[in-house]
Amino acid sequence: MTIAITQIENLAPDQASLAAAAKLKKPALWPLLARDDAGLIWGECQGSGSSPYRVMCSEADLGYKCTCPSRKFPCKHTLALMWMQADGKLPFRVEAPPDWVGDWLARRRPGTAPSRKDNAGAPAAGASAAAAVRAEAADEAAPEDPKAAARAAAARERNKAEREAAILGGLDELDTWIADALQGGLASFMPAADERCRKIVQRLVDAKAPGLAGLVERLPGDVLSLPEPARPGGLIERLSALHLISCAYRKQERLPAPIKADIRQVVGWTVTRDALLADREALRVKDRWMVVSAISEVQADKLRRLETWLSRLGDGDAPRFAVLIDFVPVSAGKATNAYRAGDIIEAELAYFQSPAPLRAIIAQQDGAATTGGRWPRPADDVPRAIARLNELMAARPWSGNAPFAASSARVVEAQGSLWLADAARTIGLPVRTDEDDTVLPLAGVDDIDVFGRWDGHLLCVDLCETPLGRWTAS
Amino acid sequence: MSEIGDAAMEALTRSFLLGTARHPAPVAAWQGLVTSGSPPSELTALALLGQRLRYRRHGPPPDAVASAPIEDARKIVPEAARALMRQLVDFRNGDPSDIAALALADACHRRRLRPHPFDLPRLRTFTKRHGELLGSYASAWAARGEEGEKTNSRYFDVDTLDESNWTAARPAARVAFIAAMRAREPERARILVEASFASDPAPTRARLLDALVRGISPADVPFLEALAKDRAPSVRERAERLLKYIPGTASTDGRLRDLVDRTKTSAGGLLRRRKKLSLELPATLQEAPAALADDRARHWAAEQYVGIGLDAIAAAFALLIEEMVAAAADDVQLLALFARQASIEGRLDVLAAIVREHAADAWIDAIGPVDAAGGMAQWQDDAALEAWCHAALAPELWPALPSAPHLDGLYTFLRRPLPPAQGRELLRSRAFAAMASADPLPAMVGQLCVAVAALTPAPLRSELRATLAALASEEPLRAVLLLDCLALLDPSTP
């Protein structure tokens, strides 16, 4: 397992960090450089302080940590460590990870870290990190006082009941707010949308429904990003979805389990990774996956949302797509997605419950990401892919982005906008464009296999296989 | 359950947009969609309408007048070169304006390659600047949204131009065509230029005038004098400059008299008395800061008196040309003038004598001012340029590596790597070795290395790459990238 220089370049926050890292590639500055057999590297770099900085990195997913106070992520020490490993010129001692590396591993997202080999009482070599986490959780739970546990459980139930009541109150307020908007007229809603949404967002946050609050907060921006003629329809659709969520939440006990679980997540109940990994009912799919889109977006709540869309390369009936969603604080500096479009990973994914499973986490990854190979041609042409899109939307009537994959498509330019159409131009979807005209070179290229995300109005094209080679939006 | 028609949808949408307080929502029409006996509430109707909108029927894209696809017979650059090109000249991280970008564009032009269409959005500044060297597709892409785009999209890329189609070609191709014809039939070339001038934009007119420098003669005077009234200052300036090059005109005679008046003649030498020439500079130049004085004075002398033939100057001093050059050995301004004039007249023996016996850096004056459109060498053939390089460049005599702007100027003048002999001399010169071993490395070493990389001929790229890679600095990284990219685009310079 080795890190490629290009991966390091992509990961670097700026050129200055790379230049600074280059200056640290001297053995004299590194009293310790080591690795294990499972793709973990670490080292100690002598900085300006009395004690060296401790730097650690997982080759599998390029996760990293450094104890330096830099506000750039990754810092120059991390980049230098990766770079030295990629160069292969300096020797890395092979040994068991020290405690400080082990601590970091234990705190990391389970599943993506390489298997950990500890000395005693730890899972055997080769056991998945997920299993390790479950074992740790069980160990921690065992010595608890039964009375204290009962009190904690009762408190949890009480909090849950209070939250349920608060959410129901928030939903009532949301419905009233929507009804008021209808009464006043949606034509006059948009000019003051920010102000009007802010108030109900605050109420929904107070009602402990952060998911719904986020949907309302994004509403003005989402609608304004549409072409002007589509905005009234876009606003109606979004308000309609909010009311639908509100209704579904109130009637959740009568809904099938996947829909209930989905609607609770949409409203704001979270399922922790540990809980999902421990859930034996959760759908798990082990296969080779290609990254078809890697998105980094800053949200209004100062969190950077990292979305990684995966396309399953194997055959079978399991879901063809998955999306991994991570959040990092914007204050952490420029954070890039660990994966790039075209990367291939071999992994077992655990899906969150949903009538149309899409969001997932990596339960177990085997080896580092590789590149190469063509994205397999989708089975559906454009008309069939649109029909499949409708099925997906029917399964999750409140869904936002839905994956779209079609073969033998072409991008056509018509009346100043771009469309993805079938070869005969019998049907098409409008394509989202940007000021860089990134999609424009696809116009006129025949026989495109395309992956994109349909947001209900526009198709955001992410990856295409074309006779001219692969095209990616990033 | 019944289906809802478009009219019902429209009525409900209208009500929601205008406000249900004043335009009550016609929810009765939606009753068939709900199981309860009473009509749905406004909110339920909203939810139904929203879902109905989600499943809008997708139709074919709107019809549009399809513009003719732009044909480009050029090959796309090798796949391995794409990432390097993006790294060098993309608008986010690269620099599309430096010599590396020009060298890449020239290599594409030479090898008839074009950038990958998918890279054009990221290379947009590069294509805007060098579009005409990158094929019709990139050229049309660069011209998108500009005034006259429709005209530009007619550009084509053919190997052979003739008198019937040359006006429809891209400006660079037109200039090359006129320059080539000027070498064969100067009169005919001028007539073609005159005929197309009225319909050409100012930048093209200016470039076409540049192409007339070769074979300029008194027959061109009426055409050039008529351009004194051209509406574009750049065209007027170039016409004026060309008029300077024509011997026998009133301007030339006046400047020759001025040169003789300004030049002091004295005698020197103990055993053998010989003439010495020295040019008296204008007072404004004498007051220039010391660091700039030399360059400014050389530039002034060459620009002020260029176009007066070497024979005429020598005759005015009653000397042979060789004697005149020897007499001016201590005067860098006069040597600059003679080097420029020798280069223009193709008197490479005189240029070589100046460079090897008196001023190794006289090539800087010989080049003259070069702009983004390139020096006059771009329309000279390979053999002529090789001969010029052989005469003008003697890197083994350079006391130090020329500055980065001067080397940039040399590449802009040549628009191709040095001939192998001069390239080898440059890499093995004391000046280059001193630069590479300096500690610390000189200022602007990155730009210096990029210029050297652009000038290095294909067989020597690996040698230069090894030298740059061994430097203890990240600054030459861009030059290394350029070498790697050129190795893929232009594996062997013709």
Count of positions (residues) in chain A: 474
> Which residues of B touch chain A, with CB atoms under 8 Å apart?
13, 16-22, 25, 42-44, 46-51, 53-55, 58-64, 69, 76, 79, 83, 93, 116-118, 120-122, 124, 144, 474
Residues of chain A with CATH 2.40.50: 274-370, 382-472
Average pLDDT, chain B: 85
State the pLDDT at residue A118: 39
Measured in angstroms, the CA of B143 and the nearest CA of chain A are apart by: 14
Q: Residue B18's closest chain A neighbor by CA?
A: A185
User: Is the Cβ of A428 closer than 8 Å to some Cβ of chain B?
Assistant: yes
B18·A397 Cβ contact <8 A: no
- Chunked mean pLDDT (size 10), chain A, 474 residues: 77 80 88 89 86 89 86 88 88 90 76 42 32 39 72 89 95 95 92 91 94 93 89 94 95 94 94 91 94 88 88 90 89 73 94 94 88 91 93 88 94 88 91 88 92 92 95 89
Name the residue among B42, B118, B121 with its Cβ closest to that of A179: B42
Q: Ramachandran region of residue B294, left (φ > 0), alpha (ψ -120 to 50) or beta?
A: alpha
- Confidence band, pLDDT 50/70/90 cuts, at residue B67: low
Q: Which residues of B touch A15 (CB under 8 A)?
A: 93
- Confidence band, pLDDT 50/70/90 cuts, at residue B65: low
CB contact set of A175 (below 8 Å; sequence gap of 6+):
A243, A246, B43
User: Tell me, what amino acid is at B375?
Assistant: G
CB A278 within 8 A of CB B84: no
State the pLDDT at residue A359: 94
User: Is the Cβ of A214 closer than 8 Å to some Cβ of chain B?
Assistant: no
**Domain A382-472: assigned CATH number:** 2.40.50
A390·B47 Cβ contact <8 A: no
User: Tell me, what amino acid is at A83?
Assistant: W
Name the residue among B76, B120, B474 with its Cβ closest to that of A22: B474
What percent of chain B stands above pLDDT 90? 38
State the pLDDT at residue A298: 84
Give me the mean pLDDT over the B127-140 stretch: 87
Q: Which residues of B touch A436 (CB under 8 A)?
A: 121-122, 124
CB B418 within 8 A of CB B389: yes
Name the residue among A22, A414, A441 with its Cβ closest to that of B62: A414
B46·A419 Cβ contact <8 A: no
State the pLDDT at residue A140: 44
Structure tokens at A352: 């969150």
Rounded to 5 degrees, what angle do the CA atoms B398, B402, B403 make? 165
Name the residue among B50, B59, B122 with its Cβ closest to that of A236: B50
Q: Which residues of A touch B120 (CB under 8 A)?
A: 441
Question: Residue A97 gets which letter from DSSP?
Answer: P
Q: Which of A240, A392, A404, A434 to mutate to test the interface with B (most CBs of B within 10 A)?
A: A240
State the pLDDT at residue A316: 85
Measured in angstroms, the CA of B290 and the nearest CA of chain A are apart by: 37
As a whole number of angstroms, the distance between CA A323 and CA A307 comes to: 7
Higher pLDDT, A130 or B456: B456
Chain A residues 439-468 within an 8 A CB cutoff of chain B: 440-442, 444-445, 456, 468
User: What CA dihedral angle connects B75, B80, B85 and B87, to 10 degrees?
Assistant: 160
CA-based nearest residue to B47, from A190, A202, A236: A236
The pTM for the full model equals 0.77
User: Is the Cβ of A419 closer than 8 Å to some Cβ of chain B?
Assistant: yes
Chain A residues 13-32 within an 8 A CB cutoff of chain B: 15, 18-19, 22
Structure tokens at A167: 């959410």
CA-based nearest residue to B53, from A188, A387, A266, A235: A235
User: Is the Cβ of A173 closer than 8 Å to some Cβ of chain B?
Assistant: no
Size of interface A-B (CB pairs under 8 A): 122
Name the residue among A22, A237, A429 with its Cβ closest to that of B54: A237
Q: Residue B82's closest chain A neighbor by CA?
A: A469
A240·B50 Cβ contact <8 A: yes
Measure the N-to-C terminal CA separation of chain B; round to a whole number of Å.
77
As a whole number of angstroms, the distance between CA A332 and CA A359 comes to: 24
Measured in angstroms, the CA of B36 and the nearest CA of chain A are apart by: 15
Task: Dump pLDDT digits (tens) for A149-166.
Answer: 888 889 889 999 999 999
User: What CA dihedral angle connects A87, A93, A98 and A104, to 10 degrees?
Assistant: 10
Measured in angstroms, the CA of B117 and the nearest CA of chain A are apart by: 6
Name the residue among A183, A187, A243 with its Cβ closest to that of B20: A183
State the pLDDT at residue B137: 87
Measured in angstroms, the CA of A184 and the nearest CA of chain B are apart by: 5
**Domain A274-370: assigned CATH number:** 2.40.50
Measured in angstroms, the CA of B92 and the nearest CA of chain A are apart by: 11
Higher pLDDT, A38 or B79: B79
A183·B69 Cβ contact <8 A: no
Measured in angstroms, the CA of A345 and the nearest CA of chain B are apart by: 23
Question: Residue A442 gets which letter from DSSP?
Answer: G
Task: Dump pLDDT digits (tens) for A305-319.
Answer: 899 999 999 988 888
Rounded to 5 degrees, what angle do the CA atoms A411, A414, A418 make? 40
Q: Which residues of B touch A428 (CB under 8 A)?
A: 58-61
Q: Is residue B64's pLDDT more than 80? A: no
Chain A residues 107-136 within an 8 A CB cutoff of chain B: none
State the pLDDT at residue B376: 54
Q: Is residue B270's pLDDT more than 70? A: no
By DSSP bridging, strand A417-422 and strand A402-414 are antiparallel
User: What CA dihedral angle connects A71, A73, A78 and A82, to 10 degrees?
Assistant: -160
Q: Which residues of A touch B48 (CB under 8 A)?
A: 240
Name the residue among A15, A239, A247 with its Cβ closest to that of B50: A239
Give me the mean pLDDT over the B41-46 stretch: 89
Higher pLDDT, B377 or B318: B318
State the pLDDT at residue B360: 93
Q: Residue A464's closest chain B neighbor by CA?
A: B118
Measured in angstroms, the CA of A179 and the nearest CA of chain B are apart by: 7
Q: Which of B43, B52, B90, B137 to mutate to test the interface with A (most CBs of A within 10 A)?
A: B43
A427·B16 Cβ contact <8 A: no
CB contact set of A290 (below 8 Å; sequence gap of 6+):
A310, A311, A313, A342, A343, A344, A373, A375
- Confidence band, pLDDT 50/70/90 cuts, at residue B151: very low
B46·A188 Cβ contact <8 A: no
A240·B55 Cβ contact <8 A: no
CB A426 within 8 A of CB A438: no
Q: Which of A222, A237, A434 to mutate to test the interface with B (most CBs of B within 10 A)?
A: A237
Q: Residue A230's closest chain B neighbor by CA?
A: B53
Task: Dump pLDDT digits (tens) for B348-370.
Answer: 999 999 999 999 999 999 988 76
CA-based nearest residue to B140, from B125, B126, B128: B128
As a whole number of angstroms, the distance between CA B81 and CA B113 comes to: 11
Name the residue among B60, B79, B474 with its Cβ closest to that of A469: B79
